[in-house]
Structure 1
């Protein structure tokens, strides 16, 4: 069994690396072995899963993932941490199913992962870029079938929100294009170092096919962005610039079977896809 790290070991390792966690990189390291075991358990990995982990940091979650998966691809933007991770794993009854990629997760594509096809995303995502990283990976890596990510509690709520909720918005709709999303439990502040000033939460994702539509993802997301840019306005008004005029927006909405007086927070991803299909042609 892989030997996990406790708070004292993590701080000693950080001192040896002269590491001071930075807000710029969203670095809050998990120091509680029970929490990483819980994350792996809730992720429900199978022995043949290839896991991609973003922001492994000092490796506490990585160590728990390695025995549970066929392979772990750790994507770390910090070159010092990326170089240290294989050493940390080797020091703890190391296994040979780890690949470390020193790169920005926002720029990862399948070509950056030669020989490996990730099937699951499990990560303590950097809070300052959690949503864009998640959406990028779901788009760039269609092989991902499931995921469990730890994010700020408020972000977890927004990702898992359903139509009609006050917190339902752009992250909710765009995530729903790719997957069924649900909350998978809270995470306390004291399991992190340094202790953040916000609560955290787990979000579970199960890949599904996007809506059947003649509109592209980019075209659908353009409607979503426009609808929530002025979320207090009716869709007739909010989509005026997207359609050309408010009158054209109303026509597109009616053709899509959507009430022009509705607001974006009332629609699911399928409704946005139908609206995108009816965008007026440019004159």
Structure 2
């Protein structure tokens, strides 16, 4: 599929502020749809449809596709490509402000999938918005920078493991479907990418009593990676005796660094702090 003609016809200019890198290879589009395991019952939300190449591939399989696009210059291209699909809705808006549940509810969806070639600049904020704000998403299948995918999938104790790793893995199970070379994009970005799947938990294996506190604990633990928990967690502004008691109750050595803690250990520590500080 060649999108160059569509873009030239509309005299479209790529905008760096929107991180626009489009995909058009039919084989790649099919692989993304296959990775998302789209069924005829699925309602799918796509963020940043671009030239609507992935949008059309999704609409071939899904019950309904809702595409959210911030760049109105793309609307004529999207509308022309999607003219033959009755199961498609184009929404003008900022994905950081849209009520996704309300959009999906119009089509009777209790839970829905998110499939997107995400603009790189918005990857972490939009993923965390979906997870932290409790939207009824069953799964996210997203294109991200390969380096970001490495961080999402990192194990405790490794250099790539960080606050974002712990946070995302608290909300869902993460896997890499496949890598995508930079040559598959128009225009070509400076890095390679990966398709990542985040299956959101309906019932989390480890439940935090206070998720806001959990996020604070994770952030503090990674605030200064070289510091031990005993020092890093001072950022929580808790009395030292309470922090010592919480670490002891959670069975965590205060001399460890935050980067060595698993998601389960972060939850145990957060819950211990919550109980002690009440």
Q: TM-score, normalised by structure 1?
A: 0.89
Asked if 1:228 corresponds to 2:222, the answer is yes
Q: Comparing 252-261 with 62-71, which one deviates more in the overlay?
A: 252-261
Instruction: Give the Cα–Cα distance (whole angstroms) in 2 for the partners of residues 15 and 245 of structure 1.
Output: 63
**1:57 aligned to 50, 54, 70, which one?**
50
Could you tell me which residue of structure 2 aligns to residue 3 of structure 1?
none
Instruction: Give the Cα–Cα distance (whole angstroms) in 1 for the partners of residues 141 and 51 of structure 2.
Output: 19
Q: Comparing 159-168 with 136-145, which one deviates more in the overlay?
A: 136-145
**1:210 aligned to 183, 196, 204, which one?**
204
Structure 1 residues 141 and 213, CA, compared in 2 at 3 Å: closer, same or farther?
A: closer
Cα RMSD after superposing both structures: 1.9
Instruction: Give the Cα–Cα distance (whole angstroms) in 2 for the partners of residues 122 and 276 of structure 1.
Output: 32
**2:153 aligned to 148, 160, 166, which one?**
160
Instruction: Give the Cα–Cα distance (whole angstroms) in 1 for the partners of residues 183 and 15 of structure 2.
Output: 18
Instruction: Give the Cα–Cα distance (whole angstroms) in 2 for the partners of residues 226 and 42 of structure 1.
Output: 35
Could you tell me which residue of structure 1 aligns to residue 68 of structure 2?
75
Listed one character per residue, the Cα deviations across residues 164-213 of structure 1 (whole Å, up to 9, x for unaligned) are 22201111111112110011111011110100010101111112133544
Aligned residues: 272
User: Tell me, what secondary structure is at the counterpart of 2:18?
Assistant: coil
Contact 2:6/2:77 (CA < 8 Å) preserved in 1? no
Contact 2:7/2:77 (CA < 8 Å) preserved in 1? no
Listed one character per residue, the Cα deviations across residues 225-278 of structure 1 (whole Å, up to 9, x for unaligned) are 111111111111110121435554333211222111111121122221222223
Could you tell me which residue of structure 2 aligns to residue 97 of structure 1?
87
Could you tell me which residue of structure 1 aligns to residue 252 of structure 2?
258
Q: TM-score, normalised by structure 2?
A: 0.91
Contact 2:242/2:277 (CA < 8 Å) preserved in 1? no
Could you tell me which residue of structure 1 aligns to residue 270 of structure 2?
276
Instruction: Give the Cα–Cα distance (whole angstroms) in 1 for the partners of residues 78 and 59 of structure 2.
Output: 12
Could you tell me which residue of structure 2 aligns to residue 115 of structure 1?
106
Asked if 1:131 corresponds to 2:121, the answer is no
Instruction: Give the Cα–Cα distance (whole angstroms) in 2 for the partners of residues 53 and 122 of structure 1.
Output: 5
User: Tell me, what secondary structure is at the counterpart of 1:105?
Assistant: coil
Contact 1:108/1:137 (CA < 8 Å) preserved in 2? no
Could you tell me which residue of structure 2 aligns to residue 219 of structure 1?
213
Listed one character per residue, the Cα deviations across residues 131-182 of structure 1 (whole Å, up to 9, x for unaligned) are 1111212334532112211100000111111222220111111111211001
